[in-house]
Structure 1
């Protein structure tokens, strides 16, 4: 089977939840004997510029403007034309922004599977016009795709209620059980001590809620503990600059975007992981923290309400005082490893489920 994938910035080691999803999923599908091509956005390829293959997945770079308001739509148009030239059995479109052009793909004669990673129009960074475009993309991808994959029951309910799409395929995001690092040299260079810091990970955009976390941690001021945030902005803007200023004011450790051994050390030695998001699909970074057996403190948005977590892990989203109280209780209890049942989030099983969706599209 020949599959072309669009809607992601690309792989490997490119910041973002959809990007992590694709990096884990498609090498597994390629290893099952399928021909997989991912179309990448040129501004993000970085050190992997010119790379033609990653773990059996073909990589094709297509132009995208580095302007968030038009980046996705321009790249998706060009990527669909490139995909048509590759003559795939299935075009897999990720996210509702690129989903705006699902009808165009169908007009080009392609079979389309779309994955809805969540209602992106809920993100604070988008203005009124952008939110309208994203809602339109949600509607057109829901109604126009041959098959629709959703990563949470919350998203399935949205598409059923709003568009009558009741045959969505629920396939969760996944997580790999990590190879734990015993080294601490990287975190020590950051001025961090094992089990004496809180960690958060994500892009520097308003809906991630890192401003709430910094203020909550500063008000708590736990003796002997630090706060570390791994990530950065895709597009530097007023919010990301103000967040970095706030972090500097309160002595927060900012690592930038990291992967590999650096991330393993940062996660494995944290006392507590915090996800203060206002919006998520099904957060891979939360699953990753759980795979390290870290205790967690998370906002109570629907996407974060995983059955393997307890009510004591949540606080009301946006409530800085409640977040500070939760951090205080968790840190007082100490860094005790937790065992979570992550069997529903196995990438190998997710790959098999995804291929089965492709097969049903072609029958």
Structure 2
């Protein structure tokens, strides 16, 4: 029986962060109970379609799932346990904002079967946290990690951002030295991207914030990689690092183009040879489901050439790269037969390497991954 991964979107948060362009909004005045009931309705419609699939991983993201009362998270998961095949369920992750975490919530998450948590720290510097518009401070991060350990969690991720306004290499070094003291199992360390519809973008255009230049940003990235590898973290994806055995199973399914379903506002799915996505309008979401219709805003068919391209591009994000054998087993074709021109070009220019089993990005290729990826598009 084939397996699939499930993403559940909780769009509510305490306050919109200044750099955030995710589908999220402050929960004050929102009918959370109604949203959860419609989420379950959406899951009920998909139940039959996925009756021959086993659930492999669940990821509850947002927004800030920890901002809502824990009973809603319990309600969703209990519904899934009763209506989907969870006999092979390996991982359930929930995203937490340190400013919204309590002892009761941590214990409730653990008791309902959540076995992985992702803490949205973003920075370990109080001034940077204020600048980002985060509602928490460094003490909240410490307290959250303490509460999670007390509740019995042994698989914790912390999200961090580098390339922040006025950030220096010394700041990054300080953050790294602090984070490894917590001995957490997984670190996601992303480069700041200024998105169009954000306050950060407005400030950047007006010259109110100053970002590290490209050379310094790349220097920071390689410093992070080298530091975490020296401290026993496995660098397994461009922005992700884990202790041995603690790679994120949900994200690995996504990167390996395995079937996944997204439910909730503006969630995306890739199943049954199609990519489809939900409306980002809350009223439209309710209107669709009130008529027993899925809230799908758009879809596209993924033909074989597009599937091969996506598999290759996502595979190159992984430090192990693309397994030539796995590519051949999946598509019944040699990868060189499909992409010889692109592969030869980027091996020659030093962005790709072939170690006989895998095609991987070089250190230089990690910096210029977009140049490689575009040549794998159909």
- Tell me the TM-score range normalised by the shorter chain: 0.3 to 0.5
Q: Which has the higher strand share?
A: 2
TM-score using structure 1 length: 0.33
TM-score using structure 2 length: 0.32
Which has the higher Rg, Structure 1 or Structure 2? Answer: 2
